[in-house]
Structure 1
Amino acid sequence: MSLGVSGVLSRIQQLQSQLGLTPLTTDPASAGTVTTKKGPTGDASFASMLTDATGAPVPAIGGGTSGDDVVAAAKKYLGTPYVFGSTNPDKGLDCSGLVQRAYADLGIQLPRNSWQQAKAGEPVAGLAEAKPGDILAFDSPVDHVGIYLGDNKMIAAPKPGDHVKIQKVWETPTQIRRVVTDSASVAAQNMAAVRPAALSGNSALAGVPYGDLFVKAGAKYGVSPKLLAAVAKVESGYNPEAVSKVGARGLMQLMPSTARGLGVDNAFDPEQAIFGGAKLLARNLREFKSVPLALAAYNAGGGAVKKYDGIPPFAETQAYVPKVQKALAALGG
């Protein structure tokens, strides 16, 4: 027997309660705003699951992110070859894979398929009203999507034998959807849903200090909660008041200037520190596409990783990366 929308939301609320996460609204009028934030890899999103379970489209709304951010995220994949069915940019991307990946890099999870993405967010009346970052969908039924850049141009992965590129909008879209706005008020609607798999996958964090915060931050920024916990163990031994000899502070050992750049006002606050560290790790993972290199950048800075085209030859960094990897392995990661 189908659970229905209210049944699914009730179950998610129970799971969030067990993890100490912000409760998911069960107001039927708010059901269309549910979205899950997780990384660019993994199983189907909660939004997609809810669509499959109820047959109703589930708009994904991202607050605090602009359309220009979406465009910048998509442009990182220019030149990536078209590979049908792929969501891994190291191998290639198809049209919906590009759209999903660009939004996921910003912490906003969209459904996988183009026809599902054509139901995300809010409708836009026409191309004249479209803004950068909007999703353009084509044909009926929808079989192609791209991201609008403005000036009648879009970025897309067009077809086999081609690659991610900027091109003119060659025909009138059948759907235009706006997933993000610049309004800070929308952020309050952007709630993370936790699926049952997330519980079993992070069971090793049950006895780890601040385990619930690692799960929350990991879900928001698309970073493994176990990796975050491993970094915190090596950085501070889970001590929120730790201060290094060079002035790094808190659980995640953020330097004051780094903390400010991440929007962390108080690095000694465990929640701020963990979310700031997750944001930094997510940025490093997107840039270097390698856990060891992302860790090296966390320790020595991204500039050093670029300069040496790998893990810098610093004794501290050379020792740091395997320490975190060992701590991650101990957590089952």
Structure 2
Amino acid sequence: MTMMGVTGVLSRIQQLQGQLGLDPVSPDGATSAGTVTMRTGVGADPTFASLLADATGGRPLTSGGGVSGDDVVSAAKKYLGTPYVFGSTDPGKGLDCSALVQRAYADLGIQLPRNSWQQAKAGQPVASLAAARPGDILAFDKPVDHVAIYLGNNQMIAAPKPGDHVKIQKVYEKPTHIRRVISDADQVAAQNMAAVRPAALNGSGSLAGVPYGDLFVKAGTKYGVSPKLLAAVAKVESGYDPRAVSKVGARGLMQLMPSTAKGLGVENAFDPEQAILGGAKLLARNLREFKSLPLALAAYNAGGGAVKKYGGIPPYAETQAYVPKVQNALAALGG
């Protein structure tokens, strides 16, 4: 699809300036001359993102461990009906095609470059549409001026053109590029993570009789972590005591250190709801990074740095005992 008029001219100028390493022109004509801002996520500086993408062989700037292609599709579908607005990355105002792609991946913690031609270099190439999977990026035209997310069955989700909106449509022509950002390892990790989630949650009844059961369900649902796993961690960490303080200063139900709590956005670790939400956020992060329940638990206890340093559960007596304790508590809850 080729954009026409002023919109098309601005798009083409932006593409050429990015290719030449010049400061990109924003839709209102402003430039970022004299500055290089190393931001991440939606709205990141496109020239910097392009250079870094080239330096890393077109790989995504942030790992998507534990994310599946179906997750990407679900993230993109949240924006169905959003108006097409050229140059906008704010879904409250509208999105253009590359902003939709960038936003869907960013919602899953994966950073992509801003422009469509840059996204056509991300990840790894896919040989044909027949080999494409849900979540792959489809790019069109030479030079690339349009991108979409493949849904499967010859359908894609895209922000097509001015006057239109984010919608599902047929793949109307052969893509010039197909790129896979979600690797096979990521797909497997997503399946492994799903294995530690309950097949179904029957409200707080799945944790009937467990203190703060409704809060474990709420936090688990929000962050995609088994509520029973959260309850097991709390059982081992604090015995469900929201006022617990360890000898090293960890606080509350989930025994969060003050610095860790701050990084998770927990203002009061003694507040059960805040503590459980913070613990769920941390466990979800660990599961995505380490793709293993025992390693995620080891990282919760000893820190992710220690797990990386030793390439597994660190040789600390406390951590070596902690992991099976939580697993036993999880089994006792039927998890």
TM-score (norm 1): 0.55
Alignment of 1:146-157 (within 5 A): 149-152=113-116, 153-154=118-119, 155=122
CA distances 1:254-294 after superposition (whole Å, capped 9, x unpaired): 01111111111110000000000011111111110111000
DSSP-derived class of the 2:113 partner? strand
DSSP-derived class of the 1:233 partner? helix
- Of 130, 134, 144, the residue aligned with 2:100 is 134
CA distances 1:204-223 after superposition (whole Å, capped 9, x unpaired): 40211000100111111111
Structure 1 pair 173–255 and aligned structure 2 pair: CA distance change class (3 A) = closer
C-alpha contact 1:262 1:279 (8 A) present in aligned 2: yes
How far apart are 1:150 and its partner, in Å? Answer: 1.3
Structure 1 letter corresponding to 2:331: A
Structure 1 pair 219–166 and aligned structure 2 pair: CA distance change class (3 A) = same
Q: In structure 2, what is the Cα distance between the partners aligned to 1:162 and 1:206? A: 44
CA distances 1:112-134 after superposition (whole Å, capped 9, x unpaired): xxxxx386362323468638752
Structure 1 pair 321–66 and aligned structure 2 pair: CA distance change class (3 A) = same
- Of 283, 289, 302, the residue aligned with 1:287 is 289
How far apart are 1:147 and its partner, in Å? Answer: 8.7
CA distances 1:12-47 after superposition (whole Å, capped 9, x unpaired): xxxxxxxxxxxxxxxxxxxxxxxxxxxxxxxxxxxx
Counterpart residue number, 2:280: 278
The number of residues matched between the two structures is 216
- Of 201, 206, 213, the residue aligned with 1:198 is 201
DSSP-derived class of the 1:242 partner? coil
Counterpart residue number, 2:248: 246
Counterpart residue number, 1:25: none
C-alpha contact 1:74 1:98 (8 A) present in aligned 2: no
Q: In structure 1, what is the Cα distance between the partners aligned to 2:240 and 2:272? A: 9
C-alpha contact 1:67 1:131 (8 A) present in aligned 2: no
Q: In structure 1, what is the Cα distance between the partners aligned to 2:111 and 2:268? A: 36
Structure 2 letter corresponding to 1:134: L
Counterpart residue number, 1:44: none
- Of 97, 102, 113, the residue aligned with 2:70 is 97
How far apart are 1:99 and its partner, in Å? Answer: 1.9
Residue 159 in structure 1 maps to residue 126 in structure 2: yes
Alignment of 1:1-333 (within 5 A): 67=42, 75-77=61-63, 96-97=69-70, 99-100=72-73, 110=75, 117=77, 120=80, 122-126=82-86, 130=96, 134-135=100-101, 149-152=113-116, 153-154=118-119, 155=122, 159=126, 170-173=144-147, 175-176=158-159, 197-199=200-202, 203-333=205-335
Structure 1 pair 260–148 and aligned structure 2 pair: CA distance change class (3 A) = closer
How far apart are 1:242 and its partner, in Å? Answer: 0.4
Structure 1 pair 257–77 and aligned structure 2 pair: CA distance change class (3 A) = closer
Give the gaps of 5 or more residues in structure 1: 1-64, 81-87, 101-108, 112-116, 137-145, 179-195
Q: In structure 2, what is the Cα distance between the partners aligned to 1:238 and 1:74? A: 40
Q: In structure 2, what is the Cα distance between the partners aligned to 1:74 and 1:99? A: 14
C-alpha contact 2:229 2:330 (8 A) present in aligned 1: yes
Q: In structure 1, what is the Cα distance between the partners aligned to 2:322 and 2:307? A: 14
CA distances 1:124-178 after superposition (whole Å, capped 9, x unpaired): 2346863875238xxxxxxxxx996313322467636789999976353473278
How far apart are 1:75 and its partner, in Å? Answer: 4.2
Q: Which has the larger radius of gyration?
A: 2
TM-score (norm 2): 0.54
CA distances 1:48-100 after superposition (whole Å, capped 9, x unpaired): xxxxxxxxxxxxxxxxx96369x99964457x9xxxxxxx76xxx6xx43624
Among the aligned pairs, what percent are the same residue?
Answer: 59
C-alpha contact 1:133 1:148 (8 A) present in aligned 2: no
DSSP-derived class of the 1:278 partner? helix
How far apart are 1:332 and its partner, in Å? Answer: 0.9
